[in-house]
A and B are shown apart, each in its own frame.
Chain A
Amino acid sequence: MSWVGRKMSRTQSSLGQLISNYGTILAFLVAIIFFSIATDTFFRLGNLQNIIIQSTALGLCAFGLTLVLIAGEIDFSYGGIIGLVGALLASMLQQGYSPLSATLVCLLVGGASGLLNALLVVGFNLSSFLASVAVFFLCMGAERVYSHGVTVWIQNRTMLSLVQGHIGPVPTPIVLLLGLLFVCWFLQTQTRAGQHVRAIGENIQAAREAGIRTSLVKSLVFVLAGLLFAFAGCLETLRNGGAIMYAGKQLLLFVLAASFLGTATFKAGKANFPGTLVGAFFLITLMNGFTLLGMKFYLIPLAQGLILIASVAISSIRRGEIEQVKF
C-alpha cells in the first residue's frame, strides 16, 4: 500500500517537517542575528520598536488578506482601499470632523468595498482575483477624484497618538497589532464560524454538504477583510502623518508577500495569522537592516527578493512541492 510508505516517510523526516514548518522563522532569526552583529544600531530597543511600528499597517492589512486566503479566495482591493481611506481620514479631520466619526466613515467605506467584493464574487460568480482588482481600481479612482492629488497633513494630536503614543511603556501600535493578532487567531481557530472559513477554503463542496452557509460565510469574510484594510489604511495614514497619493500601492506587494510568506510558516502551505505576522516582521526587518547597513536604497529590493526566495526554498525543500494557495 503506497499510503503506508508515505506515512512512514513522513514520520521519518520529522526534521524535514520541522524545517518546512519553521524555515521562514529560521531565516528570520538568522537575519536578526546577522544585522545585530553587522551593525551597532540594529539591536536597540528604539530600532526594534521602530520595526514593529513600521510593520503595523502592513501586518493588519495582511491579516485581512490572510482571512480571505483561508477562505480560498484572494483580495487585492486593499491596494485601493488604503489610499481612499487615507484621503478621507485626512480631509475629514482637516474639515473639523471628530476623530471618531472620521474613523467610522473610513471603516464604513472599507466594509462597503468588502461588500462589493462579496457581491461580485458570491453574487455574480466572478473570480475573486478579477473582482478585487476591479474594486482596487474603483477605490483608487475614487481617491483621485476626492483628493485631487493633493497631500493633506494631519494635525490632530489625539489621532496621531494612536501611532506615536504609548500604553504604559509599550507603544500603542504594538498593542494594536498583537491584540488584533490574538483576536484574529482566536476567532479563526476557536470558533465555529472561523473553522468554517477554513473548511470552505479547503473543500467548499464538503462545507456545503455539512450544511455550512458558504455564500454567507464568504461574504462575511470579504466584509471583515474590508474593515481590516480600512483600519490598516487609517494607521498607515497616521504613521505617514497625512494622506499621500496612492499610499496603498506602496503596500500592495508587501502585503501580498507577507501573507504568502505566512503560508510557508507554521502550517506548511496554508495561510495563517501568526505566519503572516512573522512574514510582515521579516520583510520590514530586512528593509530596516539593509538600510542600517548603508546599502543603496535601490539595491534593497534585490536583496529582499533573494532572501525571500531562499527562506521559502528551505521551507519547501523537504516537502518536494509548494502547495499553492488557490484563488
Chain B
Amino acid sequence: MSTPNSGQQNDIAIYTRGVSKYFPGVQALKELDFEVRRGEVHALVGENGAGKSTLMKIIVREYLEDEGDVFIDNQNAKGMGIRDVQQLGLSLIHQELNLVPMLTVAHNICLGQEPLTRFRTIDWKRMRDKAKEFLDQISPEINLADRVQDLSIPHQQLVAIARSLTTKPRFLILDEPTARLDQKATENLFSFLANVKNKGLTVIYISHQLEEIYQICDRITVLRDGKKIITAPVNELPQGDLIRRMVGMEITQQVPKEHVPIGEVILSVRDLSPEKKGENINFELKSGEILGIVGSIGAGKSEVAHAIFGSDPKKSGTILISGRELNTRNPVEAVNAGLALIPEERKAQGLVGNESVRKNMTIASLEKRFCAARLWIKQTKEKEAVRESITTLKIATRGTEQEVQFLSGGTQQKVVLGKWLMSDSDIYLFDEPTKGIDVGGKHEIYRLIMELARQGAGIVFISNELPEVLSLCDRILVMYQGRIAKELSATTTNREEILFYVMGGKENEQDTKQSWPTDQ
C-alpha cells in the first residue's frame, strides 16, 4: 500500500498512522495504519475484541490514541475533541438508540435545532418539513407525526440514522446498523447508502454480515488482535479468504475439554418462537452435555434463553424438561423445574449491587435449602454454604458480608454462578458468562461449567467467543437472524466454518469449505 503524503492526499478521507492504544492489561490497537478513501463504503470487520470499536472511538475522539496520529480530512486530529470532529463532518451512529420516546419522529430528527417562528415558539410546520427532507432520504414511509415510542425498533434505528444526517455529515460511521433492522429496513438503508455514495459521502461500515458487506462495500479492512491484517477491494477478497484472515492461524489458549458420559435428553425445545426475536427453534440437550449457541449481535441467542426460562414471553412452542412439559409463564416455575439462567447483564439481571455476597448467593435457594418451616432463615447453615462456595469458586471477597458492588466484574460473575450452583439445578443456561472477564477468571468459569457437566447437568452455553465455544462444547448451534442456521459438532468443525454460518453464509455457497485448514 502506498503511503499518502500528508496534505496532498485529496482522495483519502480519513487515515491513521501507527496508532496504538493500551488498556490496563491489554494492547487494544497495535501500530495500526488504516485508511478510508473519499466517497467509498469501507467495511471494517474482525472478531469480537479485534479492536474495531476502539479504532472508531479514536477516530471520533471518544478515546485518545496513546501513540500514532489520526488524520481527518488531512488535518491531524491531535487535540481535537468530539465536537471538533463533528464540525469536520464526522458522524458516528452507534448501537444504542438515543431518541426521546415520547416526542414525535419529526421532533426527534430536529431535536436541538428546532425551527422557530418569529415569536420564538417552535415552528411545527417547518420542523416537519425539515425532518421530512432528511427522513425521505432513508425511509419515507415512516410517519413524521408518530411518537418514537410507537415505532418498531427497525424504524427507530432508521430515525436515528436520519437524525444523524441533520448535521450534514461528510463522513458517516455505522456500527452494526443492521443488527436491529428487519429485511425491509435493511433495504431502505442500503438504497440510502448507494445514494449518498454518489453524492460523495464517505462511509465506514462495521458489520458481521457477509452478505451485506459484499453487497454494499467497496473495500474491506480486516482487523485481528488490534492489528490490521489486510485492506482490499471486496472483489479481491472472497468470503473464505476473508474469514480465514479474520480468524488467523494462531493457536489460542485452550482449556482441555473433559469428556464426560452423556446421558438422557433432559431438555427439548420444540418449535419455540420467542416473542422478541426468533422463529422455530428446535433442539435437545442431554445430561452431561455442553451445547454452545453462537451468533452475531441481534441473532436472537439471549432471546431464546430467556424464552425457555420464562423471563421473556414466547409466541409459540413447547419446552419439555425430562419429558414433562414446562409451562413457563414466569421464571419461578422454571426454577422449580430445575432450570437456571445466568444472564448476560449480571448487574441488571443477576445481582443486587448493594447487598452482601451471602444474600445474593442464597436468594434463589433460600426456600429450598435454608428455610425452617418456610418461615425463618437458618443463618448458620446459610453462612456455611456461602463460605464453602467462596472457597470452591475462589471468590475474591473479604467475606460473606461484603457488598457485591465493590467486587470486580469477574468476581461478581462468580457470585452469580455461585447463586445458581447452590440451587442444584439440572439445566443451566449460561448467557455470555465470560464477557468482560480476564483470562484467569474465564478459566475458572470453564472449569466450573465442566464440573457441572460432570455432575450430570445439561448446559447451554451462549457465547460470541468462538475459541471457548469450540473447546468447551460438545455441539454448537449457530443462529442467524433469529433462526438456527446450522448445527455443528465441536469435534469436526473449526472457527472458519462457524464464522461462515454466523455471518449468514449458506451451505451451498460454501465452496471453499474443503480447503479450510483446521486449527485444532
Contact = CB atoms under 8 A, between A and B. Distances in A.
Interface in B103-128: 103, 107-108, 111-114, 116, 120-122
A190 B121 contact: yes
Given A1-B152, A195-B103, A211 B112 contact: yes
Contacts of A209: 98
Nearest to A7: B150
A10 B151 CA distance: 12
Contacts of A270: 102
Nearest to B153: A3
Interface string A1-38: 11110010010000000000000000000000000000
Contact of A2 (B120, B122, B275): B275
Contact of B102 (A10, A190, A191, A202): A202
A205 B102 CA distance: 15
B519 interface: no
Contacts of B121: 186, 190-191
Contact of B114 (A192, A198, A267): A192
A121 B254 CA distance: 49
Interface string B180-206: 001000000000000000000000000
B346 interface: no
B102 A206 contact: no
Contacts, number: 62
B111 A212 contact: yes
Contact of B103 (A7, A202, A205, A212): A202
B244 interface: no
A310 interface: no
B120 A206 contact: no
A211 B315 CA distance: 41
A207 interface: yes
Interface residues of B, number: 25
Contacts of A267: 102
Contacts of A206: 98-100, 108, 111
Interface class of chain A by DSSP? helix
A203 B101 contact: yes
A212 B120 CA distance: 17
B112 A205 contact: no
A251 interface: no
Interface residues of A, number: 25
A191 B152 contact: no
B164 to A, nearest CB: 9
B276 interface: yes
A196 interface: yes
Nearest to A208: B98
A44 to B, nearest CB: 40
A3 B122 CA distance: 31
Contacts of A199: 100, 103, 111
Contacts of A4: 152
B99 A203 contact: yes
Nearest to A196: B112
A66 to B, nearest CB: 15
A108 to B, nearest CB: 26
A210 interface: yes
Given A10-B150, A210-B111, A1 B98 contact: no
A4 B111 CA distance: 27
A212 B108 CA distance: 12
Contacts of A2: 275-276, 315
B311 to A, nearest CB: 16
Interface centre among A192, A198, A267 (most CB of B within 10 A): A192
B115 to A, nearest CB: 9
B100 A207 contact: yes
A191 B120 contact: yes
Contacts of A3: 151-153
Interface string B82-106: 0000000000000010111111000
Nearest to A3: B152
B96 to A, nearest CB: 8
Contact of B122 (A192, A205, A212): A192
A198 B100 CA distance: 9
Contacts of B102: 198, 202, 267, 270
Contacts of B152: 1, 3-4, 7
Interface of B: 96, 98-103, 107-108, 111-114, 116, 120-122, 150-153, 182, 275-276, 315
**CB-CB nearest 4 A-B residue pairs:** A210-B112, A3-B152, A206-B98, A210-B111
29 contacts: A1-B152, A2-B315, A7-B150, A186-B121, A191-B121, A192-B114, A192-B116, A192-B120, A192-B122, A195-B114, A195-B122, A196-B112, A198-B102, A198-B103, A199-B100, A199-B103, A202-B101, A202-B103, A203-B98, A203-B99, A203-B100, A203-B101, A205-B96, A207-B112, A209-B98, A210-B112, A211-B112, A212-B111, A212-B112
